[in-house]
Every structure is written in structure tokens, then in C-alpha cells.
Amino acid sequence: MPGLLGGGRSKEKIIFIDKHRKVYRLKTMCEVLEVSKSNYYKYRQTKDPDYPDYLAVKQSFNDSKKTYGYRRITDEIRDTMGVVMNHKRVLRIMKKYGIQAEYIKQIRPNYTQKYIEENVKDDLIKRNFNQRGWVTDVTYLIWGNKRAYLSSIIDLESRKVVSHVISHRNDNRLVMDTVNEAIRKTKDLNGLVLHSDQGSQYLSTEYRIICESNGIFISMSRRGTPLDNAVIESFHSLLKKETLYNHHIKNLEEYINLVHEWIEFYNTKRRKQKK
């Protein structure tokens, strides 16, 4: 199955978004999958005849800071939008879409640890590095008091670098750009395993969306166990050994250019060994 981002398959993306509305935020999915909200709403209107009225009810509800019940919303959409809707229909739509007034604002507990536990995935590779799959990680590129970050994805079967991105920021965008580049270059993604450590970028909602929407299974090492991702760890170690330590580098920019050149050499000429 071609990558959804690379193939421009808008219908499949919209179906994925609709299927996962209760799992991920609409705004996040639209941004990650590069789908406009207007196109998604058009799809919903053809699928669900209640959806246009839901949008009116939802807007009125949000404008009231989520305090109005169905009777006030009925009056509000009539007076502000010119939409005449029976109060029973408004009530039915609110129940259907789970819209309920928040009279008491509760203090939300800190879900950080719970969030981490819920989003850590099992290790599907189990140190079998001679199977179909990708491994990925982020490493530092340090020169003097400056640093950059290299995010790489390696194919376990060929041992080649599928994609790599260098950035001055170690954030979600770095990882997402790396995954997107790999997706664009790969025709068959369905059932592919993408293995990483438990870094925050790999626990993010954006990462899950891009993997799941392309049929990629997420796999993660056990915490504090770098040997579970030994191939990418060894690759980054080798890269630093054969670039930084073997050249007279003047600045970070020169180092970054050297890394790009070395990865091209690694993919096209350097002999690789599988263990």
C-alpha cells in the first residue's frame, strides 16, 4: 500500500480521520495528514445528514463557553445564525455527539505518567534484526558549544538509511519529517514495523497518527535497554567515528555537510555486515 502522504490519496486519509475522531483531535489529524478541515466537513455532510446542524449546535455551545443547555442553544442559533431548529432536535443532536454543559470546572490531574504508560508499545522486533522492518533514533551532533540533532531510519533488510533529517531542534517535527521522508520513498508500507526507543517524540499523538494511517506497526525498546535497538545505535556510533573523529572540522555546518556526504557513501559504497 503506498504511503498515504506520498500518494495524495485524500479519500483514504479522510476515512482514517473519521474513523479515529474519538481517538485523536481533528485538528491534529488534519495537520499531520495534510487534509483541510473543509474537505473533511464535506465528507461528513454526505455521510451524516445531521452534521451541518451539529456544526451550528457545536459553535453555539462553544460560544457560550460550554455552559448552555439545549433550550438556550435553540434560541441562540435562531437569533445569531438565523437557523430555526426544534429544541427536541437540538437535544437529540447534543446527545448523539456527546455535547454536555460543564457547570462545574473540575481540576484535571496530571496524566503525564499515565499518558506515557498508555502510549508505550510492545517490542515487536525482539532483537531479531534480520526481518522486514525499520529502526529509528535521534542522536546528537556536537561541535564545540554548538549542537544539532540527526534523526535516522534504517531498513533492517538492506541496512541502508531510508531517510535522515538534521535539525537544530530535537522536537516532534524532526521525527515527523524523518518518517514522512521514509514514507514518500517507500511503495509498500502495509504491515511494516517501525522500531524506536521510548523517546517523547515516539510517544506523541502525531507519530501514532502518521504510522497508523499508513499501516505501520509501532514497536518500542524496553526503557533503558539500548541493545533492543542495537542496529541504529551502532550506525550512529559508526557515523561519528568515521566523520567527526577522522576529519579536521572547522565548524558545525561543516560537520553537518560531512554527515550528509558520509550517509550517501554508507548507502551506496560502504560494505555492511548483518549480525
The answer, yes or no, to whether residue 93 has pLDDT greater than 70, is yes
Question: Is 65 within the bounds of a domain?
Answer: yes
Q: Are residues 148 and 90 in the same domain?
A: no
Q: How confident is residue 228, by pLDDT bands cut at 50, 70 and 90?
A: very high
Average pLDDT for 137-149: 90
Strand, helix or coil at 195?
A: strand
pLDDT of residue 2 exceeding 50 = no
- Whether 73 shows a pLDDT value over 80: the answer reads yes
Q: Does the pLDDT at position 126 exceed 80?
A: yes
**pLDDT score for 6:** 38
**Interval 231-262: pLDDT, tens:** 999 999 999 988 877 677 888 888 899 999 99
Give the pLDDT of residue 1.
34
61 within some domain:
yes
42 and 159 inside one domain: no
Note the pLDDT of residue 40. 86
Same domain, 227 and 132: yes
Place of cell 490531574: 109
So what's the pLDDT on residue 46? Answer: 78
- 90 pLDDT band, cuts 50/70/90, is very high
What's the confidence (pLDDT) of residue 50? 85
Is 141 in the same domain as 54? no
Does residue 138 have a pLDDT over 70? yes
For residues 142 and 90, state if they share a domain. no
Domains identified in the chain, total number: 2
- On the question of pLDDT at 3 being above 70, the answer is no
Number of Cα atoms under 13 Å in the Cβ half of residue 11: 2
**Strands 146-155 and 161-167: what pairing?**
antiparallel
- Within this chain, do residues 126 and 223 fall inside the same structural domain, yes or no? yes
In the predicted model, is pLDDT for residue 162 greater than 90?
yes
3-state secondary structure 55-98: HHHHHHHHHCCCCCCHHHHHHHHHHHHCCCCCHHHHHHHHHHCC
Q: What Å distances lie between residue 230 and 6, 78, 130, 137, 140, CA to CA? A: 29, 63, 12, 10, 17
Residue 90's domain comprises 4-96
Quick one: pLDDT band at residue 275, thresholds 50, 70, 90?
Answer: low
Of 81-85, 96-100, 173-177, the least confident = 96-100
Q: Which residue has the higher pLDDT, 67 or 208?
A: 208
Q: What is the mean pLDDT of residues 162-169?
A: 95
Residue pair 147/218 in contact (Cβ under 8 Å)? The answer is: no
Statement to judge: residues 37 and 73 lie in one domain: yes
Are residues 125 and 58 located together in one domain of the fold? no
Q: Are residues 8 and 142 in the same domain?
A: no
pLDDT at 201 over 80: yes
Res 144 pLDDT > 50: yes
